[in-house]
Amino acid sequence: MSEAIFNLDAEVRTDLGKGASRRLRREDKVPAILYGAGEEPVSLTLEHNKVLQAQEFEAFYSHVLTLNIAGKKVEALVKDMQRHPFKPKVTHIDFLRVDAKQALTTNVPLHFINEDTAPAIKTQGGHAEHHVADVAISCLPANLPEFIEVDLTAVELGQTLHLSDLKLPKGVTLVELAKGADHDQAVVTVKAAKGGAAAAEGEDEAASEE
C-alpha cells in the first residue's frame, strides 16, 4: 500500500461559512477542520482528488495520517467524513490532532479470518452472523492497529465470541470493556444454517427412524 495515502497536503483557509465551502467544492476542494490536543481548531482545504483516492483504503480511517500544513507536519486521525448523498464526492472532513504521548480513542475495523475453513462452517453447515463490524479502542498513537483480527477457526457451532474473547495488540484496550463486564458485547455467532450439514443429518436420522 502506498504511503502517499497517509500523507495529505492541506492549506489553511480564512474564507469561512457555507457559501465559501460551496465555492471550494466547485473548485474540487474539500473543506476540513483540524482540532484537539489542546490547540485551537484550524480550518483547512484539501485537494478533492487526493482525498477521494485515499478514502478508498480502509486503513485511511484508522491510521495516523500526516497533514502537511504550510511546511509543518501534523499527525491526525479522521474523526468524521461527510459525503454527497449520491455523487462520489467528499464534502467535509473532521481531523483530530494526535499527541504521541496521549492515549487516543477511535474505532478500528474487525477482520474475520478463516471463516471459510472453520470446521463449524465448512463441514458442520454453520454460518457466521457478525454482530459488529468495528470496535472502539484506546491506545497510544504508536500502538494503533489498522484492524483487529477475529479468528473463527476454533469457534464451535452455536458459540458466540464476545469482546472479551478478542486478542488485542499490546497496549490496546477496548473502550466498552472498560465500562464493566455488562458491556461485553457479542461480536460474532456461528449458527446452524438452514439446509446445511447439521439439518441434513437431522433429516437422515428422522428417515431412518421411520
Query: What CATH number did the domain enclosing 43 receive?
Result: 2.40.240.10
pTM of the model: 0.80
Query: Where among 77, 99, 121 does a domain terminate?
Result: 99
CA separation for the pair 7, 151 (Å, rounded): 32
pLDDT confidence of residue 149: 97
pLDDT confidence of residue 210: 44
Domain count, the chain: 2
Claim to verify: residue 53 and residue 128 sit in the same structural domain:
no
Which domain range does residue 179 map to?
Answer: 105-199
Q: List Cβ neighbours of 113 (8 Å cut-off, separation of 6 or more).
A: 149, 150, 151, 152
Any domain includes 47: yes
- Residue ranges in the chain modelled with pLDDT below 70: 1-5, 16-17, 19-22, 24, 26, 195-210
Any domain includes 177: yes
Claim to verify: residue 11 and residue 92 sit in the same structural domain:
yes
Any domain includes 160: yes
Q: List Cβ neighbours of 40 (8 Å cut-off, separation of 6 or more).
A: none
Claim to verify: residue 88 and residue 155 sit in the same structural domain:
no
Q: Are strands 148-151 and 104-113 parallel, antiparallel or unpaired?
A: parallel
Claim to verify: residue 68 and residue 139 sit in the same structural domain:
no
pLDDT confidence of residue 4: 62
Claim to verify: residue 112 and residue 188 sit in the same structural domain:
yes
Any domain includes 209: no
Claim to verify: residue 90 and residue 139 sit in the same structural domain:
no
Query: Where among 68, 84, 99 does a domain terminate?
Result: 99
Any domain includes 204: no
Claim to verify: residue 187 and residue 173 sit in the same structural domain:
yes
Please name the residue ranges forming H helices in the chain: 18-26, 48-54, 119-122, 197-209
Claim to verify: residue 82 and residue 110 sit in the same structural domain:
no
Claim to verify: residue 10 and residue 91 sit in the same structural domain:
yes
pLDDT confidence of residue 38: 85
pLDDT tens-digit profile of 54-67?
A: 999 998 998 999 99
Claim to verify: residue 7 and residue 91 sit in the same structural domain:
yes
Residue 207 CA neighbour count, 13 Å, CB half: 6
Any domain includes 207: no
| DSSP 8-state secondary structure symbol assigned to residue 125 | -
CATH number of the domain bearing residue 151: 2.170.120.20
pLDDT confidence of residue 20: 64
Claim to verify: residue 148 and residue 181 sit in the same structural domain:
yes
Claim to verify: residue 156 and residue 111 sit in the same structural domain:
yes
Query: Where among 75, 99, 123 does a domain terminate?
Result: 99
